[in-house]
A and B are shown apart, each in its own frame.
Chain A
Amino acid sequence: MIYGELGDSRTRRTVTGMAQLLRALRLDGMLLSGLVAVTLFGLFVLWSAAGDNTSLWFSQVARVGIGFALLAVLSQVPDHFLRMLSPAAYVLGLVLLVVVALAGDIGKGAQRWLDLGVIRFQPSEIMKLAVPMMCAWYLHQRALPPALRDVGAVMLIILVPVALIAEQPDLGTALLVAASGLIVLVMGGLSPAFIVGGVAVLGAAVPVGWHFMHEYQRQRVLTLLDPQSDALGAGYHIIQSQIAIGSGGVFGKGWMNGSQAQLEFLPERSTDFIFAVIGEELGLLGLIALLAGYLFIVGRGVTMSLQCRDAFSRLLAGSIALTFFVYAFVNAGMVMGLLPVVGVPLPLVSYGGTSFVTLMAGFGILMSLHSSRKLVG
């Protein structure tokens, strides 16, 4: 690594000691520093986006703590144990989704939350990890590239929870869950013919899907095509976020100085649209820095997946890393007006929900899968 550049022997000892400690804790130093860097950047931005609401910021700090703790815990779990757990996690997730569908609380007009008295959480968050785990578990036992029958089985594994989540309705999460499973399938060697065919089927399904979409979901798609058509309604979010980003310029208006964000023109500025706050206050440079951080994390994650010892670990690790990128891409694309408005938070930066904790759990699993290789290697 970079030990050679460190001349001072005490420093070298410290760094070497750190590396040993990390290894003992089954943590990956590079991935961890990437995560910490982006998280700190996120908290920095959130302080500005939260405005007067400092309690919001502190509650996010608490979630960050919980997230990293969960990462550390999950990284200790042996990979075979994770594999063994996969079907159970998936079934549990399915059951909870059904329970939510039947008796879930109404939150923001959509049935997503499950209130367990002590904690309220969205079962769909479990599925963000349980679906790729289940897919990897299934494919692990089959010869790859997957045969048609296996592809069908994996598609079923993916579509059942996705359908339940989409019905809540939470299109954003449904898409992400679907992406996490499909990535497993594609990385598992799905033949290009399937991929091309799948895209073709998807294209054909658009009119059908349109038919089953909720009115607000249709509106979001239409709004993407022409935001000005409904400047004070559905198009408002997109217009205001683009004004925020565009007016930020290369260097931004300065931290805490974004008029769009601070004067509340920007909706959801601390959650789904925080990307626009970065663009406005920290400019193009801030956005590039964030994207670079994301690419570093994805790159490190994918590299780690290459070193995993079996198909389950490889596929799951690759899916966790690449799904993370999909999160970032969907949110950034939405805020910059490239994609329809779907409720997807900006990973590691957006305030809220269980998103941060789920991401950290994923990276904990990723580190666990990676470390397991070393134990045998």
Chain B
Amino acid sequence: MRRVRIKDEALEQRMYFQRVLLAAVLVTLIGIALVGRAFWLQVVQHAHYVELSQGNRARIEPLPPNRGVIYDRAGRVIAENTPAYQLELIREQVGDLEDTLARLVRFGLLEPGDVGRVRQLVLSRRTFEAVPFLLQLDDEEVARYAVHRHELPGVLLETRMARHYPYGTVGAHALGYVGTISEPDLVRVDRERYFGTGVIGKTGIESAYEADLLGTGGYREVLVNAEGRPARLAEGTDPQLRTHPPQAGRDLRMTIDFELQRVAEEAFAGRRGGVVAIDPTNGDVLVFASLPSFDPNGFARGISRSDYLALTENPDQPLFNRVLRGTYPPGSTIKPLMALAGLENGVIRPEDPVFCGGSYSLPGSRHRYREPKRGGTHGPVDMHRAVMKSCDVYFYRLANTLGIQRIHDSMSRMGFGEPTGIDIAGERGGIMPSPAWKKTAFSTREHQVWFPGETVIVGIGQGYWTATLLQLAKATALLGMRGQPYQPRLVRALVDPATGKVEERKPLPLPRIELAHPENWEIIVDAMVAVTTGGTASVAARGATYSIAGKTGTAQVFSVGQTEKYDEKEVAERLRDHALFVAFAPAESPKLAVAVLVENGGFGGSQAAPIARAIFDAYLVPEPPK
């Protein structure tokens, strides 16, 4: 059934009015709800949201500290910070990292071999951090970047302070270098301290004094937009951003005199080897040279893989620190110490003569220990002459008389067999052999037995005995000081650049070696002076205006790095003996003690001693620099 209704305008109007009233109520309620919500957000929760908005807009940007400057003994700048262009990469802005790396290679900004290193570098750092991967760009690289900039989003060219070593290869092994922070570095240091810093000390002083040189990083809050890019508000707005300035690292004053160092390095004239010169009165290392050297600026710049391989594959091993890590048989240079041990142990008197017939045999053995020169004989020699002429037979016999244990004990007191404790890392201690040492060094019983013949050759600094140049220099300084050793050191003082406060590092005297008969010092020193006046080093010392106490040495080859392939001529050259020379001067009151080694140089008196002479002349003849 269908009802037909008639439209009733009055009824409809009334009904509409009712509905409007209803709607008005609803609209009012909703309006109140909206204002109420706004009130909740803007009044009740206001402080909370203000905090959130503050955190939103400010991002912390690191202000890296200036690395401490390194000066040499005379105040010359050895390591400084200079403004340089560097390329940095922000992973979040790069998009496709692989694509960007490929482009960098294509544009000649990255070597193909370095892609893996840079990738690892970038991935190891925290998000939104600009990771420096190419330091100290040259003009051409900057130009190439400028041309391709639009194709390299997220790769930024920044001006930062970069490490520069004005002396280049000179003294590089002592100074060390900085390089880009690698993943292993980040494991070992406090990552937060390196926020914004691209480099870290890798070796030498730069590494050993890293904590002092680094300084304390600062930061500033930067207004950023939602994408993390720096932004700014309209003029006249106070963004209330905080700034915390960085504190520069401490400056270092090295003990090395870089002009003296240069003299020493030039005296090598291209030969391989090393030399250490120590001030015996305080342990200051004035020369610390390992040759060939390398240019630390290459590392500070971010060395390419190919350049690095060129260094590591160079048969002359320029990266090998011969002074710190090279262990060589000390050869005849230890004969004065051996003589001293004989005197102190009362097994021989200075005037006791030994007949040198060119060879020595142990009682009951037919094996002959010969003088190096075939047929060379010294006839009857006393201690003075044995040292002066470097008579092996005398010391074979002396060693046999002393026995290995007493030799070991005496030489250990002089510092052999353990690191000198110089203030850079990686030092090796060499070997001061003894029967006890041999038991630990060899695994099989037949090899663990100490044979008397092994004692004999220790008497002339051969056999198992190996020493570093630092040990030789330290022992020589000790002789010059008549028993007072100092720990060698490379840094004299630390300076706070802000306050100018100087922290002098006091010399570190080591326990004095007291002799039962102190006059024995002079007996030994006299013999060493004789070496340079009428003995094996007399040619090198001719014409010196000061007295030199020295001792030559020639060590059988235990050359570093025997794995490379050499041609026949090369092998022959590298099988030659190492030339050694230790000396201090002036003999009566030493100012400098030197230990020189020329790898495969042959005879110490002719090859090594002139280098020491050049250093003595440069240091002693003019006014010694203070």
Contacts and interface: CB of A to CB of B under 8 A. Distances in A.
Contact of A247 (B5, B23, B50, B227): B50
A295 B23 contact: no
B52 A302 contact: no
A306 B21 CA distance: 11
A37 B58 CA distance: 36
Interface stretch (A23-31, A104-112, A210-218, A249-257): A249-257
A247 B53 contact: yes
B57 interface: yes
A287 interface: yes
B17 A259 contact: no
A41 interface: no
Interface in B563-606: none
A135 to B, nearest CB: 14
Interface in A235-255: 240, 242-250, 254
Contacts of B16: 187-189, 305-306, 314-315, 318
B47 to A, nearest CB: 9
B37 interface: yes
B23 A246 contact: no
A246 B46 contact: yes
A265 B225 contact: yes
Interface in A251-294: 254, 256-257, 259-260, 262-265, 267, 279, 283-284, 287-288, 291
A242 B233 CA distance: 20
A84 interface: no
Given A189-B12, A264-B227, A302-B24, A332 B53 contact: no
Interface in B497-512: none
A329 B37 CA distance: 12
A47 B503 CA distance: 61
Nearest to A278: B38
A338 B38 CA distance: 11
Interface residues of B, number: 46
Given A247-B53, A259-B53, A287-B35, A279 B8 contact: no
Contacts of B517: none
B27 interface: yes
B37 A336 contact: yes
Contacts of B6: 143
**Interface majority SS on B: helix, strand, loop or mixed?**
helix
Contact of A263 (B11, B13, B33, B57): B57
Interface string B1-23: 00001111101110111011001
B227 A336 contact: no
A302 B24 CA distance: 9
Interface string B32-62: 0111011101110110111011001100000
A265 B57 contact: yes
A61 B69 CA distance: 62
A186 interface: yes
B226 A302 contact: no
A244 to B, nearest CB: 7
A143 B5 contact: yes
A138 interface: no
B588 to A, nearest CB: 77
Nearest to A322: B23
A132 to B, nearest CB: 14
A291 B23 contact: no
A31 B18 CA distance: 22
Contacts of B231: 262-264
B365 interface: no
Contacts of B224: 263
Contact of B43 (A250, A314, A318): A250
Closest 7 CB pairs of A and B: A246-B49, A143-B5, A247-B53, A246-B41, A247-B49, A264-B225, A263-B225
Interface of A: 142-145, 147, 186-189, 240, 242-250, 254, 256-257, 259-260, 262-265, 267, 279, 283-284, 287-288, 291, 295, 298-299, 302, 305-306, 310-311, 314-315, 318, 322, 325, 329, 332-333, 336-338
Given A284-B43, A311-B7, A311-B12, 13 more contacts: A144-B11, A243-B49, A245-B41, A247-B46, A247-B52, A247-B53, A249-B43, A287-B42, A291-B31, A291-B34, A298-B27, A314-B12, A325-B27
Interface of B: 5-9, 11-13, 15-17, 19-20, 23-24, 27, 30-31, 33-35, 37-39, 41-43, 45-46, 48-50, 52-53, 56-57, 223-227, 231, 233-234, 237, 239
20 contacts: A144-B11, A147-B5, A242-B49, A245-B42, A246-B45, A246-B49, A246-B52, A246-B53, A247-B52, A249-B46, A250-B46, A263-B233, A265-B53, A265-B225, A295-B27, A298-B27, A318-B16, A318-B19, A336-B34, A336-B41
